[in-house]
Amino acid sequence: MPKPRIPGALTPDRIGEILAAPFKRVYAVVGPDVFLRERVLAKLRDAFLKGEDTSIAFVSFRGPASPSESAALTPAMVLDEAETPPLFSRRKMVAVRRCDLFVRENAAAIARRIPRIPETCVLVLEGGAIGRRGGGARGGAGKSGGEESDENREAGGRRGASDLLDAVSKHGAIIECATPYATLYGSPAVSARSEMGRLVAEMGRERGLKLGDDAVVALIELAGERLAVIENEIEKLRVRFAAPGPELPPSARLESAGRSAAGTAAGRVSGTGAAAASGGAPGAAPIRISGRDVHETCADARQLHVFALADLIAARDRVRSLDALARLFEFGAADPYSGGKAVRDDKTIAILFLSAMFRTLGKIEAGRARLDAGGSFAEAGRAMGAWAGREEAAGRNAALWEKEDISAACETLLRADLDLKLSRASAQEILERLIFEICPSRQAPARR
């Protein structure tokens, strides 16, 4: 998993030990991956309210989407509910979903009342962020007439966010959800042994499917690392192969040979932790799914981000870069800032890519300079701002570039930008020429 940016935060892959420990008063489930946040919230709810009627014991609020809606949800509404012991159940969970704006405007009030939550109740704050620890408060001169200055309001907001983080860390836990890596360190290829690969295999087991390594890789490649899409495709596989019916995948091999027809029908449905959800008998063996089964059943819905193409070019991988470019123009470029909508205009995709590639070349230049100064690959990766655990691979990519290569690539990008404005060639043709010019036909070994 990507290293948490909030000090002391846990990651979703540690959900097992979180659920095994005694429950705490409050959990903050934050981060950019909405699917993982919803998954963690569901696991917390199912574990804490096991045996309870969730229609009574689970109370969910939705945070305001804009400042004009702030009055619709007040701290008193949420915290009064959380502080009130359950009346018709043994335990109660109160969740505020999409809590970003609610927390930002009421952080200090929430922090003060967290210690009052009884042991029979749990408060869950789910959203993109619950605040950041600010630096020193910036003072500002007060305005006449008793009005608070913008600087003082900003400083107060930072203090409130810091107080909330401290309160959650003291009385509960922060779980930071970022999309897991689909590749192993130092390799650009999707791997079933990666963090995302292990998560996808677990999602299959929950639905009574045993996904082979090739099936895991195929699902990730078809869905483009979008976990919500992967979940939908796994559900298709469950409906086709694990639901009661005559059809079995060509590669299906039940764990226990010689099952009776009735036992086989039950075995299609269930797996460890999934029998109740799928309707099968507990302990029945899961159905094995191969990569061929995935390709026959699932749609190719992958959307790449322009930075994914820039990373492949940084690795000077011509074949995979051309494949990624074709996918960008066929399926559109993923835009994380548009609520999941894809960018489909060819020239817009090309402009976004050129911008991403200029930024990537700037990082490569910083990494190359660190290598020339005698630094290691990991040090070069850190100079490039690579994620924790990706420094070595980023540094090796930087070692593939000489200063002359970086300068020539910048000139190629400038020519491509001019061609987009003046040439009659399509945006895809222009970027294909760019890849052929920047990426060598044969990969030279990395040199420091």
Show pLDDT as tens, one digit a residue, over the chain (448 residues): 666 677 778 888 888 888 999 999 999 999 888 999 999 999 999 999 999 999 999 999 999 888 888 788 999 999 999 999 998 999 999 999 999 999 988 999 999 999 999 999 999 999 988 765 443 333 344 444 444 455 544 554 556 678 888 899 999 999 999 888 888 876 777 888 998 999 999 999 999 899 999 999 999 888 877 888 899 999 999 998 875 544 444 444 333 333 333 343 333 333 333 333 444 445 567 889 999 999 888 877 666 788 889 999 999 999 989 988 998 888 788 765 554 467 888 999 999 999 999 999 999 999 999 999 999 999 999 999 887 677 888 999 999 999 999 999 999 999 999 999 998 899 999 999 999 999 986 555 555 5
| pLDDT number for residue 332 | 83
| Reported pTM | 0.61
Q: List % helix, strand, coil for the chain (3-state, nearest 5).
A: 55, 10, 35
Q: Do domains 12-176 and 306-438 have the same CATH topology?
A: no
* Residues sharing a CB contact under 8 Å with residue 382, sequence separation 6 or more, in sequence order: 391
pLDDT of residue 175: 92
Cβ-defined contacts of 351-354 (< 8 Å, 24+): 351/417, 351/420, 352/306, 353/306, 353/309, 353/310, 353/328, 353/431, 354/413, 354/416, 354/417, 354/420
CB 331 within 8 A of CB 302: yes
Domain positions in the chain: 12-176, 195-297, 306-438
Q: Which residue has the tokens 């810091």?
A: 162
Q: What integer pLDDT is reported at residue 383 of this predicted model?
A: 93
Give pLDDT, residue 336.
Answer: 56
Q: Which residues of 386-397 are buried (b: 16+ CB within 10 A; e: fewer)?
A: beebbbbbbbbb
Alpha helices for 116-273 (secondary structure H): 150-171, 195-206, 213-223, 227-237, 261-267
CATH code of the region 306-438: 1.20.272.10
CATH fold of 12-176: Rossmann fold (3.40.50)
